[in-house]
Structure 1
Amino acid sequence: MENQFNYTNAFNEEDNLDLKQEIGRYLRYWPWFALTLVIMLVSAYLYLKYTPRIFETYSKVKILDESEGLELPTSAFIFKRTNINLENEIEILSSYLIMNRVVRELNLNTSFYEEGTIQASQLEILPFGFEQNIKQDSILKNMSYRLNILSDGLLITDIETEMEFSFSGFSTNNKEHNLPFNVDLNYDESKNYLLGKAYVINFNPIKQTSLDLKSKIQVEAIGDQSDLLKLIIKGESKELSEKILNTLMDVFNRDGINDRQLVSKRTLDFIDERFVYLAKELDSIEIDQEVFKERNNIVDIATDAELGLQQRVKSDEEVFRIENQLSLSKLLDTSLNSTSESDLLPANIGIENASINALISEYNQTVINRDKLANGGGSNNPLVKLAESQVLDLKSNINRSLKAYSKQLETTLRQLKGRNQRLSGKVSKIPEQERLFKAIQRQQKIKESLYLLLLQKREEAAINLAITEPSIKVVENALSGVYPISPKPRIVYAGALLGGLLIPFGVLYFMFMFDTKLHSKEDIIKVTSKIPVIGEIPDLKRKKDIIFTDPNDRSALAEAFRILSSNVNYILPIKDGENGKVIYCTSTIKGEGKTYVSLNLSLALSSINKKVLLIGADLRNPQIHTYISEDKQKPGLSNYLHDVNYDWKDALIDGFEKHPNHQIILSGSIPPNPAHLLTNGRFKKLIEEAKEIYDYVVVDTAPTILVTDTMLISQLADATIYLTRANYTEKNLLKFSKELQDVGKLKNMAYVINSVGASKSYGYGYNYGYNYGYGSKN
């Protein structure tokens, strides 16, 4: 009759129902989704309320090319349009050196925060007087101070050491302290507004602040063929962010200008250094020139040379004249001594001595007068005698005068010859002196020309230094967005809604994906569609009133077992003249509820006025006694199987007052060899005898996965109910039960699912063990 009760027809279109089943599978947990949505939306609201607003500030600069000018365009200019390597400029802009300068200029290693109820918001500056007493480079570690403005003064706390500094007034200048700063609220008009507020002052090392700023600054190129760069920073304070970007551009521009001015500055420094040496060298050369002129008695080489030559010529002329005078004097002397008394002397022969010329003239005149007198008066004439004596006197005077004149001329001649010799030596030295003097002049001219050249270059370098072009052009000064970029309410709420749906969905998805438990008959049908599912027993949260004690009970539990008892009849074979039917209840592992179902099934069959016997055949771990409050050691099946003289009817128990047709045989004492007892033939005899008396014999057998007890007696059953438990039985264990049916070890098998509707949070651990307490003996 198995084909009469096959549930597979209802699932022939299983594939068409998968989506609906999956949706329904998740919708059963709608409270999870609703709760998660509420939590996420509330979290989003709190996040938006208390999360600091982050604004994006940006600026744009154009990198100027030093090569730009009136030069003709090159191929690189035509095709690449720019000679600027923007990647290099980006690296320089975001370099630690530039960031360090920005930090130092803005004193960014000192930061200020205003404490709120939940969070602290960053400030550009404090809203009152603040003076830092510590140098930037002296900050070697992080220091934090909390400033509380009280009604009667100030309270400053070192957050790290929790040391407190109290000031009675609103200024720290009124009291000595070792704080690295001073604050003064006395001159602040909004002092009353600041009462009760708290501020945090942080001091950080320069290096740490520079690295933090380096990580915050983002520099990117605008387009592939553009020389523009975009600088971006994100922060709480728009004013501080704008100041940082503007200072960064200024520092970068000054750095570029300094680089361009570096050559000019070094040129100026070099020239200034050379000027010192050149001045000394020029002074030394001029001194050498002065000494040379003094030593050689030179005013001007050319003039002195010309003058020397003129003096030499003049001196030669004088020597010639003196020598001529000497010759004339000797000639006159010869003429005077060789002539007779009556001979006249030559007059005006060139003697330049006036007295001698006068004597000669007087001599000649006297000779003429004597001759005249001698011709007229005779040689003995006294006048003639007088005239002759006058001639002799004059001749003698002339002779003396000539000798004196000759000596004078000789002396003068010697002097002139010595002078000529000196002049000749001086003139002969003029070429050497001229050569030495020109060498000195050449050195002087070289130094002077070098001095003038350096002076010119210095002026050029000074001009270049004064007119150095900027390295960047500011296209846009720092601008901050009107609205914060984070958090964005729409995105946050959309994320909250999405998270409220996806989080429980994801949790459930992974729970379902890693869930290996059986939950419904669909799981059984997916493994085997040939074995019918004849019952689903609902899960009962209560631990009592779980037994079908009242035949007239109309509870969900009673109805479920009535349905099960009805469905069992469909799988029992129909044979005329047969006695009672034998129904086995077994399971794969311990805890699936086979004893619970066996007992209630037997009671459900008894409730329709059928005589029912329940046999506890689980000799290893009996459980029926726990439901009827009987002693576990009460004689039962094991006693009958072991003792041939024991009548099984003596072990019958009427456990339920309202079920007069229901009787129970407990398992009895736990034997050491259950398998041997079950196969000694007495169990078969018991079943045969019971079938003669009872309409149904329900046998609670042992689980099948580790012991063979049930398989040893399985052929005595007319039907086998195989128990599974929702959220407990592993799906892979269904293959084991399917194989038992396929190979014929279990007869006429059908599934029953226990605890349907159990906890929908599949948060169990996956324990495949079968901790049933069975030994290895058979």
Structure 2
Amino acid sequence: MENQFNSNFFGEEDKIDVKQIVRQYLSHWPWFVIAVVVSMLSAYIYLRYAPRIFETYSKIKVLDESEGLELPTSAFVFNRSNINLENEIEIISSYLIMERVVRELNLNTVFYEEGTIQTKQIESLPLDYNQIIKPDSISKTLSYKIQVTDKGFQVINIDTDKVLKFKGHSTYTQNHNLPFNVKLNDQIPLSDIVDTAYNIVFTTVKEATLSLKSRIVVEAVGDRSDILKLSIKGESKELSEKTLNTLTTVFNNDGIKDRQLVSERTVDFIDNRFHFLAEELDSIEIDRQEFKQDNRIVDIQTDAQIGIEQRTKSEEEVFALENQLELSKLLTNSLTNQTESDLLPANIGIENVSINGLISDYNTAVINRDKLIRSGGENNPMVQLAIAEVQNLKSSIDRSLKAYSAQVTASLNQLKTKNRRLAGRVSQIPEQERLFKAIDRQQKIKESLYLLLLQKREEAAINLAITEPSIKEVELALSSMRPISPKPTIVYAGALLAGLLIPFGVLYLIFMLDTKLHSKDDIAEVTTQIPVIGEIPDLRKKKNIIFNDPNDRSPLAESFRILSSNVDYVLPVKEGEKGKIIYCTSTIKGEGKTYVSLNLSLALSSINKKVLLIGADLRNPQIHTHISEDKQKPGLSNYLHDVDYNWQDALISGFDKHPNHRIILSGSIPPNPAHLLTNGRFKKLIEEAREIYDYVVVDTAPTILVTDTMLISQLADVTIYITRANYTEKNLLKFSKDLSESGKLKNMAYVINSVGASKSQGYGYNYGYNYGYGSADS
């Protein structure tokens, strides 16, 4: 039986119910009708008074600049086009070209003719108009209105509302500070324009140029064509045609001027270069002559050979002197470091006869001294004389070596100076050769440049004489016979579409932003594993919302009878006849938890079952409000707190027509509800009540902020989770789903309260959880 019930409630997999969606939108059909009527009416008014826009276009062919007369080149031989259409498009739509068109046509002055409702732009006034103010003098937008009467003109400054009246249909008859003069055109009868108003708007040249630049469209005709299409959209066909024709003329003249300017500058440049080239060629010849004279060059190769020989000889002399200097240093060191008995080396290469003689005499004196010392002793007068002679010779040799070294050093310095001179001269030879070749190369370059410029001068002169147009006009400006805007078919279709989409979009946003629960389909979107066993209708406008009479046949009574019947299906089948424990809980305050638990207990009692309703919401009890009892009347909290208190002493019979129905109120609000519910006495109460009553309905606390319900959830046979249509947030369903899947709530089933509360799916409820608890023990 249980499986059969679950299969009926779970249903099949989620499917999109198109009929339901259509029905949901069609329920608001008056808004669609109103939106369509308003949009179609708006479209009619728009088409009636919208300005008519015409498209004007012209076509031009850009001519190749290389088609002028010039000497053959590779591009000419292979007939390659030099036209870059992208560049031409950028040029023709450039600010400079557009500004010239604006100045030529005076487009910064715009004329309008006022109608009864519509004001349209015209090419010119049907009057003789003379503008006084210069275009460059206009620094801001100026607006004037000319009203033509049978007596004269009335000119109004729209910016300042200043009014000037002129008699005789001419502004020339009196002094004024207007930026223009007008008078009646003799070709146009006064009756055609009387009681008509015309507006004149002056804008800056820059503003008019940018406006024209944004309106002109230039595009190529085909991928491989040299033809460009110019188009513009505007109210006045005459003005648009004149604008495109003027643009074509300005662009053509600009191209011709550019070609002529290039040729003229080319000729002038070449003429000036001829004069300089002649002077430069003469200067190069003079530089060549002076270079040879200044560097004393006859022939660079011969001069180089002589310089190298002289340098080689000089380097050999430097080497010889450096040897003599080194030998002198060696003798000086030997003379300084030797003992008195040492001899000096003789004939080692010193090229000084005096020094060599002194060394020979010194060595003879040393030998003689040593002999006398060995034969007569050191104190012998002869020995003393020999020692003195050795010392004198040694001093003479030292002085001679110093003098010779100084002489050799001086000669070496002079020779090195001469050698550096020779080396510098030899080293300059490559540079002189390079400079000379540079002079020679410059002479050849100038000669070839002279010939090239002469050729180019002839080409430029010929092209200047036969300059052709830069473009060819394929089609002059033509305007469409019918306006391109507005198009009635598109406007009406768009209006119809807007009339349908706007209310649809608004409703779609309303539905999309709706986060409230409305039906069991919303629960099925979150979970199909938890059944929905009841939908309680919205009876908030009814005064009697309690199932007082067991024989009541009201929708309220029937809905709770159905709920009580469905509860039996989800209750587990157990052996024995003990009572069933039914928990009623919800996510947040205000979802009707107490309301459903009370009426469910009464519905069960109406079928002659003994029922006990326990108010287990110890934090915010509400049962007493439905039976007019004191909130502080002893109840569950007193029993849980006082071990000597008998719970049967707290039983209340709140409904006379339900003799099998009893209530235990919550009692005094305790400071520690979670502790009381888990001290074991609540479990004892449930076990004892199960023996006496067929059903025990427990009104528990909401689950989102307090854990009271989860602490005692395992005692329940079934947990009825109350939700409220148009009040419960859909995302809170995930919280309840997690409680069921995690086993925190046992054998859970949903009940939806206040179904059908608002057909428009109202949003009058406040979001969040405002349960009003002082504390939440866990």
* TM-score, reference length from structure 1: 0.65
CA distance in 2, matches of 1:553, 1:108: 88
CA distance in 2, matches of 1:516, 1:711: 26
Q: Which moved more, 1:644-653 or 1:490-499?
A: 644-653
The alignment of Structure 1 onto Structure 2 pairs a total of residues equal to 589
3-state SS of paired residue (2:529): coil
1:672 corresponds to 2:666: no
Inter-CA distance 628–513: structure 2 relative to 1 (3 Å threshold):
same
Q: Cα distance, 1:235 vs. partner? A: 2.0
Give the residue type in structure 2 aligned to 1:207: K
Q: Cα distance, 1:183 vs. partner? A: 4.3
What's the counterpart of residue 86 of structure 2? 87
Q: Cα distance, 1:108 vs. partner? A: 0.8
Tell me if the contact between 1:128 and 1:188 (Cα under 8 Å) persists in the aligned partners.
Answer: no
3-state SS of paired residue (1:744): coil
Alignment of 1:429-448 (within 5 A): none
CA distance in 2, matches of 1:174, 1:739: 94
What's the counterpart of residue 218 of structure 1? 217
CA distance in 2, matches of 1:150, 1:614: 95
What's the counterpart of residue 752 of structure 1? 751
What's the counterpart of residue 721 of structure 1? 720
Tell me if the contact between 1:256 and 1:470 (Cα under 8 Å) persists in the aligned partners.
Answer: yes
Tell me if the contact between 1:2 and 1:532 (Cα under 8 Å) persists in the aligned partners.
Answer: no
CA distance in 2, matches of 1:640, 1:3: 39
Q: Deviations over 1:213-268 (max 9, x none)?
A: 11211111112322211001122222221221111112222323334454788899
1:486 corresponds to 2:499: no
CA distance in 2, matches of 1:150, 1:627: 86
Q: Which moved more, 1:88-97 or 1:141-150?
A: 141-150
What's the counterpart of residue 6 of structure 2? 6
What's the counterpart of residue 422 of structure 1? none
Structure 1, unaligned runs of 5 or more:
271-456
Alignment of 1:17-36 (within 5 A): 33-36=32-35
Q: Deviations over 1:705-742 (max 9, x none)?
A: 22111122223323210122345444443343233333
What's the counterpart of residue 277 of structure 2? none
Inter-CA distance 755–181: structure 2 relative to 1 (3 Å threshold):
farther
3-state SS of paired residue (1:699): strand
Give the residue type in structure 1 aligned to 2:96: L
Q: Deviations over 1:417-467 (max 9, x none)?
A: xxxxxxxxxxxxxxxxxxxxxxxxxxxxxxxxxxxxxxxx9xx999977x7
3-state SS of paired residue (1:6): helix
CA distance in 2, matches of 1:463, 1:711: 102
Q: Which moved more, 1:139-148 or 1:644-653?
A: 644-653
CA distance in 2, matches of 1:111, 1:553: 84
Q: What percent identity do the matched residue pairs reach?
A: 73
Q: Cα distance, 1:750 vs. partner? A: 0.8
What's the counterpart of residue 776 of structure 1? 776
Q: Deviations over 1:85-117 (max 9, x none)?
A: 322322221121211111112111111234567
Q: Which moved more, 1:3-12 or 1:543-552?
A: 543-552
CA distance in 2, matches of 1:52, 1:540: 59
Q: Deviations over 1:556-592 (max 9, x none)?
A: 4444333222211222234565354332111122333
CA distance in 2, matches of 1:22, 1:115: 51
What's the counterpart of residue 616 of structure 1? 615
Inter-CA distance 661–173: structure 2 relative to 1 (3 Å threshold):
farther
CA distance in 2, matches of 1:96, 1:220: 17
Alignment of 1:531-570 (within 5 A): 531-539=530-538, 542=541, 546-548=545-547, 556-570=555-569
3-state SS of paired residue (1:739): helix
Give the residue type in structure 2 aligned to 1:123: I
Tell me if the contact between 2:9 and 2:532 (Cα under 8 Å) persists in the aligned partners.
Answer: no
Q: Deviations over 1:726-762 (max 9, x none)?
A: 4544444334323333343322221112344455767
Inter-CA distance 196–647: structure 2 relative to 1 (3 Å threshold):
farther
What's the counterpart of residue 250 of structure 1? 249
What's the counterpart of residue 374 of structure 2? none
CA distance in 2, matches of 1:532, 1:462: 99
CA distance in 2, matches of 1:226, 1:42: 47
CA distance in 2, matches of 1:651, 1:581: 20
What's the counterpart of residue 596 of structure 2? 597
Inter-CA distance 208–186: structure 2 relative to 1 (3 Å threshold):
closer
Q: Which moved more, 1:725-734 or 1:557-566?
A: 725-734
Inter-CA distance 643–522: structure 2 relative to 1 (3 Å threshold):
same
3-state SS of paired residue (2:81): coil
What's the counterpart of residue 392 of structure 1? none
**Root-mean-square deviation (CA), in Å?**
4.3
Q: Deviations over 1:352-385 (max 9, x none)?
A: xxxxxxxxxxxxxxxxxxxxxxxxxxxxxxxxxx
Give the residue type in structure 2 aligned to 1:208: E
Alignment of 1:661-740 (within 5 A): 662=661, 664-688=663-687, 690-691=689-690, 694-740=693-739
Give the residue type in structure 2 aligned to 1:5: F
Tell me if the contact between 1:8 and 1:525 (Cα under 8 Å) persists in the aligned partners.
Answer: no
Inter-CA distance 90–743: structure 2 relative to 1 (3 Å threshold):
closer
What's the counterpart of residue 136 of structure 1? 135
What's the counterpart of residue 580 of structure 2? 581
Give the residue type in structure 2 aligned to 1:89: E
Tell me if the contact between 1:4 and 1:570 (Cα under 8 Å) persists in the aligned partners.
Answer: no
Tell me if the contact between 1:537 and 1:754 (Cα under 8 Å) persists in the aligned partners.
Answer: yes
Structure 2, unaligned runs of 5 or more:
270-456
Q: Cα distance, 1:525 vs. partner? A: 3.2
Q: Deviations over 1:265-296 (max 9, x none)?
A: 889999xxxxxxxxxxxxxxxxxxxxxxxxxx
3-state SS of paired residue (2:483): coil
Inter-CA distance 610–152: structure 2 relative to 1 (3 Å threshold):
farther
Alignment of 1:184-333 (within 5 A): 184=183, 198-262=197-261
1:111 corresponds to 2:110: yes
3-state SS of paired residue (2:133): coil
Tell me if the contact between 1:7 and 1:533 (Cα under 8 Å) persists in the aligned partners.
Answer: no
What's the counterpart of residue 440 of structure 1? none
Q: Cα distance, 1:59 vs. partner? A: 0.7
Q: Which moved more, 1:622-631 or 1:55-64?
A: 622-631
Give the residue type in structure 2 aligned to 1:137: D
Inter-CA distance 591–266: structure 2 relative to 1 (3 Å threshold):
same
Inter-CA distance 70–555: structure 2 relative to 1 (3 Å threshold):
farther
CA distance in 1, matches of 2:558, 2:604: 12
Tell me if the contact between 2:706 and 2:777 (Cα under 8 Å) persists in the aligned partners.
Answer: no
CA distance in 2, matches of 1:558, 1:153: 89
